[in-house]
Amino acid sequence: MTISAQLESISSQDGNGSVAEGIHREVIFPASGAGVALVSRQLKAEESGALIIAGSATGSLFTLPTPVAGMWFEYEVTIAASSNEHKVITNSITTEFLVGAVISASATVAEGMDCFVADGTANAVSISMNGTTTGGAVGTRLVFTAISTTQWFVKGVNQGSGGAVTDPFDAS
């Protein structure tokens, strides 16, 4: 999706700084084909700043581009995966890693919540959410920010259901 340059402008206001009028950002909401296949998408560096919507019950796989410091993506789940899983993975699982923390909670009353940490090593190259016990239910919101050429900082809230949510970070 290309955003029209006519929607964006910067104008000066009274010499007290600038106001950005009409800024719009890209929303990546891939179609699920016939609705029976896993949605898979390689994100591009030029899409940095986009809102990624995981909205397929058949799951989704989004691959982050090679990180360049300052690049970022916001990821939200609007439909929990009932088959496969919703997954975000680094472009190279041998040289690019996730670092940061995600608070995971269960919609089931009294199941509480937990904080899971991505350690920036080969133990954390993806976040995989099955829609229930590893999270990825409606309301999940994650932000991935490139902090170096080898690391994506991840933060957010991971919503699960049906019981306690387990660690969503994975080595593959």
Phi/psi of residue 141, nearest 5 degrees: -140, 120
Question: Could you give the percent of the chain with pLDDT greater than 90?
Answer: 66
Residue 43 C-alpha from the chain's centroid? 11
* pLDDT attached to residue 6: 46
Whether the per-residue pLDDT at 115 is higher than 90: the answer is yes
Closest listed residue to residue 167, CA positions, set 137, 108, 110, 126: 126
User: How many CB atoms within 10 Å of residue 51?
Assistant: 14
117-152 pLDDT, tens digit each: 999 999 999 999 999 999 999 999 999 999 999 999
Length of the chain: 172
What DSSP state is assigned to residue 67? P
pTM: predicted TM-score of the whole model, two decimal places: 0.84
Confidence of residue 162 (pLDDT cuts 50, 70, 90): confident
Q: Which tokens is 144 given?
A: 């991935």
| 9: β partners | 21
Q: How many C-beta atoms surround the C-beta of residue 132 within 10 A?
A: 20
